[in-house]
């Protein structure tokens, strides 16, 4: 069976395995991606934030701790929505159980839209970018991460077992659907080149302020060997955008 969008996360064993990995202290999302996201979003005090594909909303809890005024998450998986509701204070947060393609976005409402490792599940990225643009205030910011295009180009390395020391890049310029074996299931993701993301953002009316490939930092690792391994293959691509005047 092939899983699309959030459906894999509603498979009980996939969800449990994913959460076990995600919550490990040495998970690359915490060690490599999260510091870059936090640096780019900066001070969130008093901000109204929307998180697309928010998962269990642990990030929402962190943003609340940092002083954001209100946090909303859009999430397609009912397992994730249930976990998210347990994390958050309903007085200053809300979770919408919906796909980010179909959700009805309010106009000029948010100071910040974030999305962490969810937009590579979306087939029609241009549609979702248009909705995000519509939902941001004029001085709003959009910060998101996706799996690095080096990883999504080709599934041959994902099919091999064991720790990866290198990665096959193939079909790089053929954007589109890839079915990847992940956590014991076949999961559909969408490969786009860096240029493809950049152009889609520009076409949707965004001004790109920064692009990051999440260079691993030694001080974030407990194990130097793992740090050296993580210098080999880029895992994440992050964009920081504002709206074009």
Ligand X SMILES: C[S@@+](CC[C@H](N)C(=O)[O-])C[C@H]1O[C@@H](n2cnc3c(N)ncnc32)[C@H](O)[C@@H]1O
CB-wise, 116 or 148, nearer to ligand X? 116
Distance separating alpha carbons of residues 14 and 184, to the nearest angstrom: 7
Q: Is 3 in the site for ligand X (CB under 6 A)?
A: no
9 lies in the site for ligand X, by CB under 6 A? yes
Q: How many residues bind ligand X (CB under 6 A)?
A: 21
Q: Which is nearer to ligand X, 19 or 233 (CB)?
A: 19
| Residue from 40, 44, 55, 234 binding ligand X (CB under 6 A) | 55
Asked if 71 touches ligand X (CB under 6 A), the answer is: no
Q: Is-contact 55 82, C-beta < 8 A?
A: no
Rounded Cα distance, 6 and 99, in Å: 8
CB of 58 to ligand X, least distance (A): 6
Q: Least separation, in Å, of the C-beta of 44 and ligand X? A: 16
Which candidate, 27, 13, 101, places its Cα nearest to that of 58?
27
Q: What are phi and psi of 215, to 5 degrees?
A: -65, 125
Are 84 and 56 contacting, i.e. CB atoms less than 8 angstroms apart?
Answer: yes
78-117 footprint of ligand X as x/- string (CB under 6 A):
--x------------------xxx--------------xx
Interface stretch with ligand X, choices 48-56, 189-197, 203-211, 215-223 (CB under 6 A): 48-56
Backbone angles phi, psi at 37, to 5 degrees: -60, -45
Q: Counting contacts by CB under 6 A, is residue 53 touching ligand X?
A: yes
Nearer to ligand X, 6 or 153 (CB): 6
Contact 236, 147 (CB under 8 A): yes
What the block records as the tokens of 86 is 């347990």
């Amino acid at each position: 069976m092939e899983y699309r969008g959030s459906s894999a996360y509603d498979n009980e064993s996939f969800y449990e395995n994913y959460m076990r990995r995600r919550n490990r202290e040495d998970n690359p999302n915490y060690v490599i991606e999260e510091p870059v996201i936090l640096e780019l979003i900066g001070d969130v005090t008093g901000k109204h934030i929307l998180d697309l594909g928010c998962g269990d909303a642990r990030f929402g809890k962190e943003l609340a701790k940092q002083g954001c005024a209100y946090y909303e998450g859009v999430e397609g998986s009912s397992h994730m929505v249930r976990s998210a509701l347990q994390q958050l204070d309903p007085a200053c947060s809300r979770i919408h159980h919906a796909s980010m393609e179909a959700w009805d976005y309010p106009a000029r409402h948010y100071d910040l839209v974030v999305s962490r490792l969810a937009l590579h599940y979306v087939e029609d990225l241009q549609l979702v970018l248009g909705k995000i643009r519509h939902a941001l205030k004029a001085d709003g910011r959009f910060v998101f991460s996706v799996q690095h295009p080096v990883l999504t180009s080709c599934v041959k390395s994902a099919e091999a077992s064991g720790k990866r020391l290198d990665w096959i890049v193939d079909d790089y310029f053929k954007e589109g659907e890839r079915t990847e074996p992940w956590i014991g299931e076949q999961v559909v993701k969408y490969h786009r080149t860096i240029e493809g993301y950049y152009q889609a953002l520009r076409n949707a009316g965004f001004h790109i302020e920064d692009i990051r490939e999440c260079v691993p930092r030694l001080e974030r690792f407990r194990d130097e060997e793992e740090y050296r391994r993580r210098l080999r293959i880029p895992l994440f691509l992050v964009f920081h955008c504002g709206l074009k005047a």
